């Protein structure tokens, strides 16, 4: 079979990714003859970096190097490249952990008349933080979106991969969505559940809120479970779940 010639212009992130995808396996190398053209000697584009010999070998970057944790395809490709790379003896880069440092903090700023107002945001890096994030998201959606179903569906889609990555059974996520979304919705007057209670029972949600002990205590109990590990069911290591983790990670 005659190989198809492929010419890639530019050695930035997209260019080198395309070259790798078209030449990373014996099957693809039999199908494609790939040539990559780059102006200059440095590859990487936005992710390029190098040592400046005129400035004490200082590491200089071409752009800000920030990878978000949900860049699943980028992490997967980086691992494939590192596995295929025949590293020279003594090379300090052996795994992806040698290249990237996990960072759980970022500032979020909003411009206003008096300048920027900045909030410190910490991403969940442990079981308790993940549970707290799930509860806060479900309660927040109940407050903003005013619909109970969104407070269940949205966090379920958002956090399921994170629970699996952390080795937690998805039923832990289900409980957190119930504690943060389902049972807090009747306490919010403008939420669909709160409006239904008021229209049906004739009792304003803020009137029965102090007596809704289950609705108020359950999120706190769920938070305690998250940080202590009590009743948190680990993910069973069977074949289907292992393949799912592989696809997510």
Q: What is the DSSP string of 91-116?
A: -S--SGGGT-----EEEEEEEETTEE
In Å, what is the CA distance from 31 to each residue of 10, 26, 36, 100, 227?
21, 9, 16, 33, 52
List the structure tokens of 171.
């039923």
- CA atoms of 9 and 16, how far apart (whole Å): 10
Residue 78 shares a structural domain with residue 149: no
Structural domain ending residue among the three candidates 64, 98, 132: 98
Predicted confidence (pLDDT) per residue in 95-127, tens digit: 888 888 777 777 778 888 888 888 887 777 889
Which pTM does this prediction carry?
Answer: 0.60
Q: Is residue 113 part of a domain?
A: no
Maximum mean pLDDT: which of 50-59, 74-83, 204-213: 204-213
**In the prediction, which pLDDT does 244 show?**
45
Look at the chain and report how many structural domains it folds into: 2
Q: Give 186-236 pLDDT, tens digit per residue.
A: 999 999 999 999 999 999 999 999 999 999 999 999 999 999 999 999 998
Q: Are residues 237 and 134 in the same domain?
A: yes
What is the sign of the dihedral through the CA atoms of 182, 183, 184 and 188? positive
Whether residue 110 lies inside any domain: the answer is no
Does the pLDDT at position 146 exceed 60?
A: yes
234 lies in the same domain as 143: yes
| Residue where a domain terminates, one of 98, 133, 151 | 98
pLDDT at position 129 over 50: yes
241 and 130 within one domain: yes
Assess whether pLDDT exceeds 90 at residue 42.
no
Cβ distance 15 to 7 under 8 Å? no
Residue ranges making up the domain that contains 156: 124-248
Pair 142, 197 in one domain: yes
CA 31 to chain centre: 35
The reported pLDDT for the residue numbered 240 is 44
């Amino acid at each position: 079979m005659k190989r198809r010639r492929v010419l890639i212009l530019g050695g930035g992130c997209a260019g080198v990714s395309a070259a790798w995808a078209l030449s990373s396996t014996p099957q693809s190398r039999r199908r494609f003859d790939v040539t990559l053209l780059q102006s200059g000697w440095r590859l990487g584009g936005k992710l390029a970096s190098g040592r400046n010999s005129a400035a004490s070998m200082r590491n200089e970057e071409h752009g800000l190097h920030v990878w978000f944790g949900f860049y699943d395809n980028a992490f997967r490709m980086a691992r494939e490249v590192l596995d295929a790379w025949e590293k020279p003896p003594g090379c300090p880069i052996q795994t992806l952990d040698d290249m990237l440092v996990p960072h759980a903090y970022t500032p979020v700023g909003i411009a206003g008349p008096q300048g920027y107002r900045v909030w410190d945001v910490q991403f969940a890096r442990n079981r308790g933080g993940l549970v707290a994030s799930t509860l806060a998201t479900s309660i927040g959606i109940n407050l903003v979106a005013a619909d109970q179903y969104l407070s269940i569906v949205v966090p379920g889609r958002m956090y399921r991969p994170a629970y699996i990555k952390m080795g937690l059974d998805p039923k832990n996520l289900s409980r957190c969505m119930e504690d943060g979304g389902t049972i807090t919705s009747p306490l919010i007057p403008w939420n669909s559940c709160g409006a239904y209670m008021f229209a049906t029972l004739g009792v304003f949600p803020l009137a029965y809120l102090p007596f809704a002990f289950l609705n108020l205590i359950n999120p706190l109990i769920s938070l305690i479970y998250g940080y202590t590990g009590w009743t948190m069911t680990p993910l069973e290591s069977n074949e289907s779940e292992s393949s799912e983790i592989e696809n997510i990670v």
